[in-house]
Structures are given as C-alpha cells and as structure tokens.
Amino acid sequence: MQTQFLLSQNDVPTQWYNVQADLPEPLPPTLHPVTLQPVGPSDLEPIFPMDLILQEVSQERYIDIPQEVREILQLWRPTPLYRAVRLEQALGTPAKIFYKYEGTSPTGSHKPNTSVAQAFYNKIAGVKRLTTETGAGQWGSALAMACNFFGLECKIYMVKVSYQQKPYRRSVMRLFGADVVPSPSDETESGRAILAKDPNSTGSLGIAISEAVEVALKNADTKYSLGSVLNHVLMHQTVIGEEAIKQMDLAGAYPDVVIGCVGGGSNFGGLALPFLRQNLREGAKTRFVAVEPMACPSMTRGVYAFDYGDTAKMAPVVKMDTLGHDFVPPAIHAGGLRYHGVAPLLALLHRLGYIEPRAYHQVPVFDAAALFTRTEGIIPAPESAHAVRAAIDEALDAKEKGEERVILFNLSGHGFLDLGAYDAYLEGRLENYAYPEEMIQRALQSLPQVNL
Ligand SMILES: *Cc1c(COP(=O)(O)O)cnc(C)c1O
C-alpha cells in the first residue's frame, strides 16, 4: 500500500493564497491600541515593514513568493504527506487517515514557512534587527534561522517558564546567533512593570510580545516579527495546503475533514485555507476542525471581541476569539498553544460557521501522541498531538457509524525537544486542567470598549 505521496522541488508553490479575496464578509478593521480607531498602513510602520503591512490588508487572491524566499523553502519543501495505514489498522477504522508532516523543516515545525518570508521583507526594507517573543521556542528557533540566513540580528523574549523548561530550544536559537532573554525581563518598561507586581511571574506570550514590540517602537533600525495570528502569517503558511491538495490528488482521495491544532492559528490556517477555497469557490464540502487545549480555550470558551494583542496594550487591537489580554495560561506542556487569542481570520470563519473548534485535556492528547509514535514512528510535538487526538476521534467516530471518511491533519512539528513533557506523561505526572470559568470572566472584564 502506498503511504508516501512525494512531490519534487519544482512543486513548491510559486504563490501564496490570500483567503481575504474569497471571504463571505470582510474582516473587521485593525485598531490603534491608544485611540481604538482603525489604523492606516503608516500607523503600523514602526513595527512592520511596508511589504508585510500591504500583505496584511491585501484583497488579491494570489501573491507571488519572491524567488529568494522560495529558494530557502526548497531546502526542505515540499514536505511529505503520508497515509497513516498502521494507525488506521490499530484503530480498526474504515476511515483513511492522511497527515502532512511539517516536522521535516530545519527547526522542526511549520514556523520557518513564514519566518523566512518575514526576514526577507525586513531585509529589503533596510531593517537591521528583528525582535520577537517565543513560547515553546519553536517560533524563536525559526526566526533565528531566518535572520541568520539574511544577515539580520535577532532578539528573542522567551516566556520564562519555557526558558526554564526547554533549555535546548535556547541552544538552537543561540546557535543561529540570536540573543535570548527570559520574559518578563528587566530590559523593558513592560517587563519591569510586570516584575514590580509579581517578581515570580512565569511570563506569558502577551507579556513577551509587549517587550518585543516596545523594543521595536523605541529603535528605528529594529522591527518586530510575529509568528502567528496575523493575516500575512496565515497566508505564508498556505504553501502547506497548496502542496497537500496536489498530494491528496496523487493519493486519489479528497479530505472530508481537515484538522489542525490552534495556538494563534497559523498551521491550521496554512493547511485549511486552500481547502476552504475549494469549499467557497468549487463547492467542496470539507469540514474544518480546529483543536485547542482545555487550559487555553480561546475558540471554545472565549468571546468574539476586539482585544489587545499583548498584555501591555502596545500591539494593535483586532477582533478575535479571546480570553482577554491579561490571560496568563497555566504551564501546560503544549507551550505553543498558550496565546490568549486566535487569528482574526479564523475567528471570523468560526463565527460564519466554517470552522468547528474542539478542546481536549492534555492526558488524552498525550495518549494519542503515544499511539501515533508506536504506529507511525514519529514523535509529535505536544501541540501537534492535539490534532492527532482529533484525527483519531474522527476515525473512531467513522468506525462507530460504519462510514468511510477521509481525514487529513497537520502534524505541525516533531517532539524531539519536548521529551521532558513525554517524561511527565510516562511517569503519570501530567494533570488535566480546564481554565476556571471565573478566571475567564475576570480576564474578559478588561476588554477595550470599542465604539466604531
Ligand atoms: C507554534 C506551534 C503551534 C501553534 O501555533 P499556530 O500558529 O497555531 O500554528 C503548533 N504546532 C507547533 C509544532 C508549533 O511550533
């Protein structure tokens, strides 16, 4: 039985897909964090280069991938698409399970698909240094690599709990030449303000973003780079779905359901949006399942509202499914899924009924990852394991109903640098944790009051 569906380097897409061209209704505007009024492109220029700002608001369906970017993507793309035959057999399901594997990139996840593009546009804009935040360290690693390729300096604020839990991610970033500091740090006003209130703060993505944005705002030669959430980031990730469409074609199948885990939404969007185009334009009927942790349930339990992108209210305000910018998530092991919000594009598609969100506890997620490792041989990143859980549940549901079902999920990264989390799982030290309702209600009280 054929289990690998291979493409050649020439099949790396030459264009990104911009779903904004096909949305049933336009995205709400991005607002200035102080005035709470819609921003124009020039308002965003202190933090992003103009090419990326224009991509953020573009309504063009396709945007050319610069040759310099495509050549770097070709170092590891196209990524493989597999059929998980041994997993299907273990489940005894009539469903066919396919997965797109993004863990073959140099840093082990989908994140370099956008870091390379972002570093390129900053380089040609004359920027000298990029700042960013990183949670689990995947984004920091990807941006450090891209900055290294294009000769940019890279400064990374790493959420303190991850800095302590994941020392090897730090090593990866430093090997690529990046400067990594634990956040909250005493290097920025935002970091010092948090430390003054809580010297033991373990940090959050929201706080680390504030630090990184602050440094970009205060230095003319420095800009800020975000690894998820924004429209242009999801667009850069559509190379995943475009390749997968060709590979499913080679497999002679088309997905009934497409699944991805969701932190900010970029790996899910990258796989799902090109298939969603087929729904919107070609009458396909694929379902889209977005999976998040019970501990950070922005799509399943948050509200659809305008909110700040960061804790110190310096990043732009966007309308998204949010738990509130003050949300400090518990230290679950899927570090990359701990952002308080979700991409505005996905929040809108959720509200319009195109996306089904689903939340899982971490123990069943690791159970799924262990079964996947033992059948397919690949250790999933804890984030990706959420998608594995949902794919298995879809396959079991198909079995119960006696249905054939074609399932496609994104295995967004490997877990070789997450073995501490697997140790905790194997030793029975993992706890299920659902974010308490009263904490969500409290965080939602600080949403900005927007009158448009
Ligand atoms: C960062 C990360 C995620 C979550 O981010 P998204 O933007 O939602 O994709 C998921 N999986 C892996 C492996 C990651 O590194």
Mean pLDDT by 10 residues, the chain (452 residues): 96 98 96 94 94 97 98 98 98 98 98 98 98 94 98 97 90 98 97 96 90 96 96 98 98 98 97 98 98 94 93 89 85 75 97 98 97 98 97 98 98 95 94 85 88 82
**Every domain of the chain and the residues it spans:** 4-8+73-108+232-444, 12-66+112-228
Residue among 350, 412, 416, 418 to mutate when testing ligand 1 (max atoms within 8 A of CB)? 412
- pLDDT at position 123: 98
Among 109, 233, 240, 372, say which to mutate for ligand 1: greatest number of ligand atoms within 8 Å of CB: 109
Distance from residue 266's CA to the centre of ligand 1 (Å)? 7
Predicted local confidence at residue 452, as pLDDT:
80
CATH of 4-8+73-108+232-444, one of 3.40.50.720, 3.40.50.11900, 3.40.50.300, 3.40.50.1100: 3.40.50.1100
Is the distance from the beta carbon of residue 264 to the nearest atom of ligand 1 less than 6 Å?
A: yes
Q: How far is the CA of 141 from the centre of ligand 1 (A)?
A: 12
Q: 381 CB less than 6 Å from ligand 1?
A: yes
Atom of ligand 1 nearest to the CA of 381: 13
CA angle 262, 224, 147 (to 5 degrees): 90
Give nearest CA residue, ligand 1 atom 13. Answer: 413
The rounded Å distance from CA 401 to ligand 1 centre is 32
Contact 300, 359 (CB under 8 A): yes
**Beta carbon of 267 within 6 Å of any ligand 1 atom:** yes
* Residue 162 near ligand 1, beta carbon < 6 Å: no
* Predicted structure pTM score: 0.97
**What tokens were used for 358?**
């689903």
What is residue 435's predicted lDDT score, i.e. its pLDDT?
83
How many angstroms separate the CA atoms of 346 and 20, rounded?
A: 11
Residue whose Cα lies nearest atom 3 of ligand 1: it is 336
Fold agreement between 4-8+73-108+232-444 and 12-66+112-228: yes
Q: Which two tokens stand for residue 68?
A: 């310099």
Task: Give the nearest ligand 1 atom to 138 CA.
Answer: 15
Residues 6+ apart with CB under 8 A from 377: none
The CB of 386 under 6 Å from ligand 1? The reply is no
Q: CB-hemisphere CA count at 13 Å for 444?
A: 16
**Cα 413 to middle of ligand 1, angstroms:** 8
Tokens of 58: 């573009």
Q: Which atom of ligand 1 is nearest to the CA of 229?
A: 7
Q: Ligand 1, closest atom to CA 337?
A: 4
Q: How far is the CA of 186 from the centre of ligand 1 (A)?
A: 28
Q: What is the 265 CA–ligand 1 centroid distance (Å)?
A: 7
Cα gap 251→235, rounded to integer Å: 25
Pocket lining: 417 vs ligand 1, CB cutoff 6 Å:
no
Q: Kindly state if the Cβ of 263 falls inside 6 Å of ligand 1.
A: yes
The residue whose C-alpha atom lies closest to atom 4 belonging to ligand 1 is 263
Residue 133 to residue 151: CA distance in whole angstroms: 19
Nearest residue (CA) to ligand 1, atom 10: 383
Instruction: Give residues with Cβ within 8 angstroms of 362, minimum separation 6.
Output: 293, 294, 295, 332, 333, 334, 382, 430, 431, 432, 433
What SS3 class is residue 99?
A: strand
> Which CATH architecture best describes the domain 12-66+112-228?
3-Layer(aba) Sandwich (3.40)
Cα-Cα end-to-end distance for the chain: 57
Do residues 211 and 204 touch, judged by C-beta distance below 8 A?
A: no
Which pLDDT value is given to residue 331? 67
Taking the CB of residue 429, how many other CB atoms lie within 10 A of it? 9
**CA 124 / ligand 1 centre spacing (Å):** 27
Ligand 1 center from residue 311 Cα (angstroms): 20
Tell me which of 114, 138, 350 to substitute to probe ligand 1's pocket, judged by most ligand atoms within 8 Å of the beta carbon. Answer: 138
pLDDT at 337: 82
Does residue 114 have its Cβ closer than 6 Å to ligand 1?
A: no
